[in-house]
Structure 1
Amino acid sequence: MKKSLVILTDRFGLNFSGGAIATCRVFEPIQHDFKEIIVVAKQIGQHHFTNLKHLRYRHLPAALKHIRNLRKKTDLIYYGDFYMAYYYILAGVPFYFTYHDNWPAQKKLNFTAYIRSFFYIPIYQWIFKRAAGLINVSQYTYNYNASWNHRNFLIRNGINAGISKAQYRPIVRGQLVKIIMLGNIDTRKFGLANELFEVIQAFERPIPIEIHIYGKPKDFKIAEKIKRYNFVKLMGFSSDINFSPYDVFLSVSKMENLSIAVCEALANHTPVLAFDVGGLGEVVKNKKNGFLIEKFNICKMAATLEKMVLEPTAFQFTKDDLREYNWEIAAKRYKEILIP
């Protein structure tokens, strides 16, 4: 007999970002293996589920009430993808958990993150220890979490963007090089962008580049700073990115678990230039499909970009590089763990 799946999260939908999209994508192919999908979330957005029930909450007491009411049923599987999975622990129900976040690395982001770390790091460690199954999207977090839970799994996320650039297009010396950046404009993703753009602008010999940034401005001070450069254009948020016009994917993120956007760029035969943070080294291979710069060497990143533009490198992309990064494969693995 089929069981219902309870998903406890913050936001659920394809028009959000990160873990919210991943949860939708991973359960959509196997939605009919469950009697019903019950989403306990603050917000629900676009999705392709045909048998979904939304239980809205704003605060902890309301979420706990939903979970305790659901606990009266015996045919439920509980799943979480964000820190509020500790509500399951408070409610006394077993649960599975996928870790998408960036703690403890995020502790070093700024003073606010340092203060918040005294809540988030212990909460996540509590979740890791109590989960019936702990799922990681990168080898980087899999290794870290191995000490917290013996039922520790590695399941790669899939890729959201379609293939709009079917083959690698070498950069042509002297022509305008179009660069794409993706992600919410905030301290983590774009806190170092202004510093990098300052170095680029100060080049003795200007390089022919145009940088398009797709993402929602979360930190308006950062957005205002970076849009003043004449080679930078803020494109706003888009859920359907066309990689075909772009020659380089640039990331100045201070930390990553394993960026879906980076995987999307590589799947679209677009070389990546990024700092060597989190699990990015699992997909970005130096001089093969991009460059990883030691964190956070702004001058070296700027110099590498200059060399990519003025002395083009030949990159290579193969299907095998991202074979594991597939939502259908991920869904099958989730099903094996949640419905043994």
Structure 2
Amino acid sequence: MKTLVWVEHDNASVKDATLSAVTAAASMGDVDLLVAGKGVRAVAEQAANIEPARKVLLADDAAYEHALPENLAPLVVGLMQGYDAFVVPATTTGKNVAPRVAALLDVMQLSEIISVEGRKTFTRTIYAGNAVATVESHDAKLVVTVRGTAFDKAAANGGSAAIEDVSGPGDAGTSRFVSAEIARSERPELTSAKIIVSGGRALKDAATFDEVITPLAEKLGAGVGASRAAVDAGYVPNDFQVGQTGKIVAPEVYFAIGISGAIQHLAGMKDSKTIIAINKDEDAPIFQVADIGLVADLFKAVPELTGKIR
């Protein structure tokens, strides 16, 4: 089976989520990569170092500069004559592109797979991660999104793939890029952070959230996350949300502070290697998945913990 993996990038470097998608694709068959954008040959050269990629297809066109899915999907469909499967990371942009490709190919999309069981057989979680379904496709072409936390990252160096220029239909004329407001932070991005400190609605307000959570995160060099309740209450931006409707993470250490453990939040973080929960309610569901649980007033326990970290 020949697979084509869409490379997600920021016009400067390959994003980590792509490496997990490559690992999944490699267990399906031969892997080629697609880099689309404007002035992104450097990204293609970086992608060529990824093992075990055989070839990098470079579509350098202003139409693909901002990864508009209306433009990317026809490009991918035009390339799919030579491939059996199209694989993308299950990120916000990836989940925007894949359904359009599936629709144009008239095939079923296989969403957020967590393992490859056979040539066209995969597993994926359902019911907010409480059950695992085995799914098999009978379509001639596969369109697959990959949950990054379920696969190891492919080696970013050591490969020697050839770069081949390709072209597509260009601008479809159905959408246009207007602007982007990108939040900048010195802290690690959530999906790639090794340590995450998350806060819940118990933090009371935005100022208190920042006062309690941020110092601990800075001491640990951690990313900052939040429950949906905290985001909905306006404590932090949507970017911080961890959960089924937010970001799926699996860091080495996950701090759940003042988070009760709603099922939609657990679906986004329960694969973390070590989960540390701090909550004054000893019956909070979060303690059922926590490796270390502390029943305490977070407003006393967290500053004390922060003060002891050197």
TM-score for the superposition, normalised by structure 2 = 0.43
Q: Of Structure 1 and Structure 2, which has the larger fraction of its residues in strand?
A: 2
What TM-score do the two structures reach when normalised by structure 1?
Answer: 0.40
